[in-house]
Amino acid sequence: MKVIRSNNHHILIPPLIIGIIITFLGCSGNKEIQSKGETPTRERAAVSRERFSFNYQGPPPTTFSEAPVLANRVAVGELPPVEYRLPEEPLVVPTIERIGEYGGTWRRGFTGLDTNNIDRIIHDHLIYFDLDGYTLMPHIAKGWDISEDGTTFTFYLRKGMKWSDGASFTADDFIFAFEEVTMNKKINPSLPAYATVEGQVFKCEKLDEMTIRYTFHKPNYVFIENVGGLFVGGQFSRGGTVPLYAPRHYLMQFLPKYTPIEELKNRAKIEGDRSWVALFRRMASPHKNRDLPVIGPWKMVTPLTSEIYSLDRNPYYFAVDPEGNQLPYIDKIVMLLFEDIEVFNTRAIAGEVDMQHRHILIDKVPLLKRGEDKGDHRLLLWPNLGGSDAIIYVNQTWKGDLEIEKWLRSRAFRIALSLAIDREQINELIFLGMGKPRAFLPFPNNPYYPGHEYEKKYAVRNLEQANKILNTLGLNKKDSDGYRLRTDNRRRLNITISVKNQSFIKFDDIAELLVNNWKDVGLNIRLRIEGETLYGVRAANNEHHLSMGIAGGSENPWTFPIMTIPILGDAFAPLISSWYETNGEKGVAPSGNLKRLVEIYEEGNSLPKTMRTELGKELWRIHSENLYVIGTVGQSPAINGIVVVKNNFRNVPDVAPNSATLQTPGIARPEQFFFDSIRSN
């Protein structure tokens, strides 16, 4: 057995992250959009050190302090003293600039039911990634063991750790989450992928009050990475219904095993829930139930369904800074609902948010830059680690018209689509020249990068070659408007590209450019703009021909396979994903290269990270050659990476790895963010 502990790690930021720092802090060719420089200080210099780590190496604090609002509650007997609210071995979180100050309300914005907005700040993972975006380190668990064969994972909890209501946090909460929630078929008709290998569920054991063990029947090395990332996550990122842990003492009252079913049905009816299952799901949601005990640094007090979504500090949060001050520093988070992203960006430009990384549009960068003084903010750029910032999914399982099916599944047709795209135009008009026209593949320093020859493969505009391919395929007849005709009935070939009406990037603007690009080769691709809910429904129902998305997280196919492996979600092969998720009960089985992608994923799961390199390269070669997903422009900060920060809002790194898997900005440890009272005055 190999014991992994934070104090055994030698932190070294991989070349990928160093390259990003060099590009965006020192060598950007676009001076117009560089972050405004500050007078160098010892504190600010520390922010960009290549070796900054949240893996604390100093002596543990022996005395503890707390926020004044909590000290007041202690004084009147509402709370026990801070030393009794912390575990025996609290997590020590180093600060990026300096020890912070208590107090303040962090103002942000959110769009409707966008749970990710706060999930990424709470980051209530069992273990988590360091700021390098690569190294796993303790978080809720103080350490872990992995068996040599990659089948057994043992986690050691923090003795004395408590839920936000003061109840003990123990291995029983993991057993309850697994046996009573995750495995309950009424609550979860299908099992989460992280809990199974080849359809067989892991074994979950309580070794003692502070030790939990998961055992797979076959090697599943990637499990440890998934526990640290989005794929498994905590209460917030999993929505409370497929958790790794859950508050047994609270949630058991909403299960028929512990409360008569009729009583639950009556309560559900009174509270407006369709069934006891709907009641449980709502009560288990940290976004909807203010009474639900949580583990993260802040706890919801007004629900996501309100116009103001707010959270207060968790008085039992298990982390402190190096001087023993209980975190978080900030008292409250308040997010205001906005229906229009343009309106919200106007507010951000005017300085009405304290720190926002989500929903800030790339076309607002010049205004944000010019308005730094007036808005009293600074602009940070955190490039997305995914392969492309705007990708086109070509649905390989769409059904309903044999002619359209034929072309969507034709490799040559997809190559023609890609060759017709003017990526340089998209980069200049949409990404302000901040990105790089390229195919859909990871950064060059990624261990799975297939080679420089794939960087622009089928990703440089060539109308002559695109036209030649389409003519050779038999699409050589055109109508009076110059559009190509179907091969079955000689009517116009109509294909649709669907995009969301509000997203991180203006997909509708990109799609309009694409429609014109494809018109240049005689293809009539019609744009359909859909609301987020409708888009999600149609995607899940396999109704999209072409659609667009973002590729954040795709840099590691094993921890975030949505964009690259047809096993999860509804991107480029929804029916194959359904087949995989239901263990063959629904959907369509993969074949050919799509089957090979699934095999690569499963083979990689059974290998340590260091042994997956060749499989990863093969995966990206398959994508590069077959274009199930067509890349446009990448390596920009457009996706969650344009960060607006008030000048008095401190301990925010100049650059942080930006990825869905890493739950950015959670990887920057928002609990150590604070308001500087001197700058505020």
CB count within 10 Å of CB 568 equals 17
Q: Is the pLDDT of residue 28 over 80?
A: no
CB count within 10 Å of CB 431 equals 26
User: For all residues of the chain together, what is the average pLDDT?
Assistant: 89
Instruction: For residue 195, give the CATH number of its domain.
Output: 3.90.76.10
Residue 50 is predicted with a pLDDT of 54
Rounded Cα–Cα distance for residues 509 and 429 (Å): 9
Same domain (yes/no): 405, 262: no
Instruction: For residue 106, give the CATH number of its domain.
Output: 3.40.190.10
Take residue 290 and report the two structure tokens written for it: 């203010």
Distance of alpha carbon 597 from its chain centroid, rounded? 22
pLDDT band at residue 300 using 50, 70 and 90 as cut-offs: very high
Same domain (yes/no): 457, 566: yes
Rounded Cα–Cα distance for residues 376 and 86 (Å): 37
Mean pLDDT, range 84-90, rounded to an integer: 98
Same domain (yes/no): 148, 181: yes
Q: Is the pLDDT of residue 19 over 60?
A: no
Instruction: Determine, yes or no, domain membership for 119.
Output: no
Q: Is the pLDDT of residue 21 over 90?
A: no
Same domain (yes/no): 316, 245: no
Same domain (yes/no): 139, 156: yes
> If we measure between CA atoms, which residue out of 130, 99, 115 comes closest to residue 4?
130
Take residue 654 and report the two structure tokens written for it: 């100049």
Q: Give tens-digit pLDDT for 420-433.
A: 999 999 999 999 99
Rounded Cα–Cα distance for residues 160 and 210 (Å): 9
Same domain (yes/no): 505, 630: yes
Rounded Cα–Cα distance for residues 228 and 383 (Å): 21
Same domain (yes/no): 467, 506: yes
How do strand 332-337 and strand 308-313 relate by DSSP bridges?
antiparallel
Task: Give Cα separations from 573 to 155, 540, 604, 630, 661 (angstroms).
Answer: 36, 10, 20, 14, 21
Number of domains in the chain: 3
Percent of the chain at pLDDT > 90 equals 71
| Least confident piece of the model among 146-155, 230-239, 408-417 | 230-239
Burial class of residue 561, CB neighbours in 10 A (0-12, 13-18, 19+): buried
Mean pLDDT, range 454-473, rounded to an integer: 97
Residue 568 is predicted with a pLDDT of 78
Q: Model's pTM, two decimal places?
A: 0.86
Mean pLDDT, range 619-644, rounded to an integer: 94
Instruction: Determine, yes or no, domain membership for 192.
Output: yes
Mean pLDDT, range 222-235, rounded to an integer: 87
| Burial profile 43-78: b = 16 or more Cβ within 10 angstroms, e = fewer | eeeebeeeebbbbbeeeebeebbbbeebeeebeeee
**Highest mean pLDDT pick, 29-43, 156-170, 350-364, 523-537:** 156-170
More confident site: 538 or 532: 538
Residue at which a domain ends, from 293, 321, 356: 293
Q: Which long-range contacts (CB under 8 A, 24 or more apart) does 256-262 make?
A: 257/180
Q: Give tens-digit pLDDT for 543-552.
A: 999 999 988 8
Same domain (yes/no): 676, 585: no
Instruction: Determine, yes or no, domain membership for 185.
Output: yes
Same domain (yes/no): 59, 146: no
Instruction: For residue 554, give the CATH number of its domain.
Output: 3.10.105.10
Q: Is the pLDDT of residue 257 over 80?
A: yes
Residue 210 is predicted with a pLDDT of 98
Same domain (yes/no): 169, 230: yes
Same domain (yes/no): 456, 550: yes
Rounded Cα–Cα distance for residues 87 and 220 (Å): 31
Q: Give tens-digit pLDDT for 464-486.
A: 999 999 999 999 999 999 999 99
Instruction: Determine, yes or no, domain membership for 367.
Output: yes
pLDDT band at residue 237 using 50, 70 and 90 as cut-offs: confident
Mean pLDDT, range 284-308, rounded to an integer: 93
Residue at which a domain ends, from 597, 617, 634: 634
Find the domain containing 168 and state its range: 124-293
Instruction: Determine, yes or no, domain membership for 118.
Output: no
pLDDT band at residue 183 using 50, 70 and 90 as cut-offs: very high
Burial class of residue 262, CB neighbours in 10 A (0-12, 13-18, 19+): exposed
Residue with tokens 């199930």: 628
Q: Is the pLDDT of residue 209 over 80?
A: yes
**Highest mean pLDDT pick, 14-23, 188-197, 384-393, 521-530:** 521-530
Same domain (yes/no): 565, 657: no
Helix-strand-coil split of the chain, %, nearest 5: 35, 15, 50
Rounded Cα–Cα distance for residues 345 and 341 (Å): 6
Q: Give tens-digit pLDDT for 576-596.
A: 999 988 888 899 999 999 999
Residue at which a domain ends, from 293, 317, 343: 293
Q: Is the pLDDT of residue 106 over 90?
A: yes
